[in-house]
């Protein structure tokens, strides 16, 4: 792949300069344009045809949400948001629903050295965005809110799901298709910064027949309920004295690149539920979930992976598939049906 032509959109001249300086740390990234707001950005993207756009969320005139909405309707391009605070979480989630691929949290003290601390993350996400499938970025068609009836066989006691880049869009498509009387628990890890998972769980609950909530330490794992791991802590399971399975949240282990980690969730599910686990690995960068999938398979459980055609980033599923751990590769449009069939 050649150089990654990038446009930076921000109303602050300081931030535009700082982001440009950070991206210059990668020989693969070429900043071809600087825009002050969404209106400028629309024109610039049309003229320059960049591979990736970084865009501030809060701007006068057309903000980041407005730009994503207009640009994705016109011609999908990978857009990476820069946001200053978890207080903007609702607007970030709206932009992700509209097709933005990911976001980076800016430090609160902008006019300082702190901006440079996000350089590595920003470069990594721009480089990954350049490889994303733009066909998977377009907003998903709205589905009728009718839960699929699972053909319950009793072979599965829990569904665990791991997802990263492109995850909010994919889960908004998948979870509302699951029935309100889903016969087992669904427990999910989504890579997101602290301050966003609680609001995302609430948004998901609003559109889903299946109850969805952010998991809390010590809460019970129940059939007919979806739990989302909170950002910043790993989610694992333990059995209470009465035999119920309970959620355990911890910052340990510290050696995982993501917290929560899909590997930690999957390994714990295999240890508690044995072979009666259905693991699902969906769109995302990296290999989180591969080690966990091996634990589930070793216990006799089943693994589904999202197929490349519908992934925004075919990283995590590819790692599982290439390790020979996937029982079936399924497009997003069929994932709810395939999960329900295996119950």
| Per-residue tokens: 273 | 């539920």
Catalytic annotation present for 26: no
Torsion angle defined by CA atoms of residues 196, 199, 202 and 203, in that order, rounded to the nearest 10 degrees: -90
All CATH 3.40.50.180 domain ranges of the chain, comma separated, are: 158-341
- List 26, 288, 310, 326, catalytic entry: 288
User: In sequence order, what E strands does the chain have?
Assistant: 4-9, 29-35, 52-56, 79-83, 102-105, 158-163, 186-190, 212-214, 226-228, 234-239, 245-250, 277-281, 302-306, 328-330
Domain limits, CATH 3.40.50.2300, in the chain = 4-136
Q: Residue 107 has what pLDDT?
A: 66
Q: Please identify which of the residues 56, 63, 191, 208 carries the catalytic annotation.
A: 191
* pLDDT per 10-residue tile (average), the chain, 343 residues: 91 91 93 96 97 95 95 94 88 93 76 69 91 67 53 82 94 95 96 93 95 97 97 96 96 92 98 97 96 98 96 94 98 95 90
Q: Is the domain covering 4-136 a CATH 3.40.50.2300 domain?
A: yes
Q: Are strands 79-83 and 277-281 parallel, antiparallel or unpaired?
A: unpaired
133 is catalytic: no
On whether the 158-341 domain is CATH 3.40.50.180, my answer is yes
Active site residue 208: no
pLDDT at 120: 85
**pTM, 2 dp:** 0.89
Catalytic-labelled residue, pool 164, 236, 261, 310: 164
Phi/psi of residue 72, nearest 5 degrees: -70, -30
Three-state DSSP class for 282? coil
pLDDT of residue 87: 87
């Amino acid at each position: 792949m050649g150089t990654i032509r990038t446009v930076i959109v921000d109303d602050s001249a300081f931030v535009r300069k700082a982001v440009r300086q950070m991206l210059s740390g990668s020989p693969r990234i070429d900043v071809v344009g600087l825009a002050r707001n969404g209106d400028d950005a629309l024109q610039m993207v049309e003229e320059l045809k960049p591979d990736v756009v970084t865009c501030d969320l809060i701007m006068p005139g057309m903000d980041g949400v407005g730009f994503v909405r207009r640009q994705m309707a016109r011609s999908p391009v990978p857009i990476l948001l820069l946001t200053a605070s978890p207080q903007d979480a609702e607007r970030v989630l709206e932009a992700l629903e509209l097709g933005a691929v990911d976001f980076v949290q800016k430090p609160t003290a902008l006019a300082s050295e702190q901006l440079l601390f996000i350089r590595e993350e920003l470069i990594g996400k721009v480089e990954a965005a350049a490889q994303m499938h733009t066909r998977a970025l377009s907003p998903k068609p709205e589905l009728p809110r009718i839960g699929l009836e699972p053909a319950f066989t009793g072979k599965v006691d829990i569904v665990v799901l791991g997802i990263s880049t492109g995850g909010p869009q994919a889960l908004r498509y998948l979870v509302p298709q699951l029935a309100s009387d889903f016969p087992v628990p669904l427990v999910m890890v989504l890579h997101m910064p602290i301050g966003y998972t609680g609001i995302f769980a609430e948004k998901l609950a609003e559109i889903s027949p299946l109850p969805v909530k952010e998991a809390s330490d010590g809460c019970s794992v129940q059939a007919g309920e979806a739990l989302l791991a909170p950002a910043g802590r790993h989610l694992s399971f333990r059995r209470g004295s009465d035999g119920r399975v309970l959620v355990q949240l911890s910052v340990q282990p510290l050696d995982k690149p993501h917290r929560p980690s899909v590997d930690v969730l999957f390994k714990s599910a295999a240890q508690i539920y044995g072979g009666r686990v259905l693991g699902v690995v969906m769109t995302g960068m990296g290999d989180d979930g591969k080690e966990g999938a091996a634990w589930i398979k070793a216990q006799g459980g089943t693994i589904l992976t999202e197929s490349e055609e519908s992934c925004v980033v075919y990283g995590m599923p590819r790692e599982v598939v290439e390790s020979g751990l996937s029982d079936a590769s399924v497009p997003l449009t069929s994932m709810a049906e395939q999960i329900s069939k295996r119950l």
